[in-house]
A = this chain, B = another copy of it.
Amino acid sequence: MGGDFGPAVTVPAALQALVSYPQLELLLVGNPAAINPLLVKTDSVLRERLTVIPAESVITSDAKPSQAIRASRGTSMRVALELIKDGRAQACVSAGNTGALMGLAKLVLKPLDGIERPALMVVLPHQKQGKTVVLDLGANVACDGSMLAQFAVMGAVMAEHIVGVNNPRVALLNIGEEETKGLDPIQHAAALLRDVPSINYIGYLEANELLTGKTDVLVCDGFVGNVTLKTMEGVIRVFLSLLKSSGESGRQGWLMQWVKRWMKRRLIRQFGQLNPDQYNGACLIGLRGTVIKSHGAANQRAFTAAIEQAMQAVERQIPERIAARLDAVLPKSD
Instruction: Identify which of residues 171-195 in chain A touch chain B, using a CB-to-CB cut-off of 8 Å.
Output: 173, 175, 178, 180, 182-183
| Among all A-B residue pairs, the 9 with the closest Cβ atoms | A208-B234, A207-B230, A208-B230, A207-B231, A231-B231, A175-B226, A207-B227, A235-B235, A259-B259
Q: A247–B266 contact, CB under 8 A?
A: yes
Q: Report 10 cross-chain contacts, Cβ distance below 8 Å, ordered by A residue.
A: A127-B241, A142-B183, A207-B226, A207-B228, A235-B236, A235-B274, A239-B271, A239-B274, A247-B263, A259-B263
Distance (whole angstroms) from the CB of A271 to the closest CB of chain B: 6
Confirm or deny: A233 has a beta carbon within 8 angstroms of a beta carbon on chain B: yes
Confirm or deny: A61 has a beta carbon within 8 angstroms of a beta carbon on chain B: no
Confirm or deny: A209 has a beta carbon within 8 angstroms of a beta carbon on chain B: yes
Q: Mark A219-253, 1 if CB is under 8 A from B, else 0.
A: 01011101111111111111101110011000000
Q: B182–A208 contact, CB under 8 A?
A: no
Confirm or deny: A300 has a beta carbon within 8 angstroms of a beta carbon on chain B: no
* Bound Cα distance from A64 to B224, whole angstroms: 25
Confirm or deny: A211 has a beta carbon within 8 angstroms of a beta carbon on chain B: yes
Instruction: Pick the residue among B208, B230, B243 that contacts A206 (CB under 8 A).
Output: B230
Interface magnitude class on chain A: 35 or more
Contacting residues, chain B, for A266 (C-beta < 8 A): 246-247
Distance (whole angstroms) from the CB of A69 to the closest CB of chain B: 14
If A246-B267, A266-B246 touch, whether A141 touches B230 (CB-CB below 8 Å) is no
Confirm or deny: A260 has a beta carbon within 8 angstroms of a beta carbon on chain B: yes
Distance (whole angstroms) from the CB of A185 to the closest CB of chain B: 11
Instruction: Identify which of residues 57-79 in chain A touch chain B, using a CB-to-CB cut-off of 8 Å.
Output: 64
Confirm or deny: A278 has a beta carbon within 8 angstroms of a beta carbon on chain B: no
If A178-B64, A247-B266, A271-B242 touch, whether A211 touches B234 (CB-CB below 8 Å) is yes
Instruction: Pick the residue among B64, B178, B211, B255 that contacts A238 (CB under 8 A).
Output: B211
Distance (whole angstroms) from the CB of A266 to the closest CB of chain B: 6
Contacts A64-B180, A210-B235 aside, 4 further interface pairs with beta carbons under 8 A come to A228-B228, A231-B235, A263-B263, A267-B267
User: Which residue on chain B has the smallest CB distance to residue A241?
Assistant: B127
Instruction: Pick the residue among B211, B246, B267 that contacts A270 (CB under 8 A).
Output: B246
Instruction: Pick the residue among B209, B222, B230, B263 that contacts A234 (CB under 8 A).
Output: B209
User: Which residue on chain B has the smallest CB distance to residue A224?
Assistant: B227
User: Which residue on chain B has the smallest CB distance to residue A237?
Assistant: B208
Contacting residues, chain B, for A281 (C-beta < 8 A): none
Q: B238–A274 contact, CB under 8 A?
A: yes
Q: B246–A234 contact, CB under 8 A?
A: no
Q: Mark A153-181, 1 if CB is under 8 A from B, else 0.
A: 00000000000000000000101001010
* Bound Cα distance from A223 to B175, whole angstroms: 7
Instruction: Pick the residue among B141, B175, B178 that contacts A182 (CB under 8 A).
Output: B141
Confirm or deny: A200 has a beta carbon within 8 angstroms of a beta carbon on chain B: no
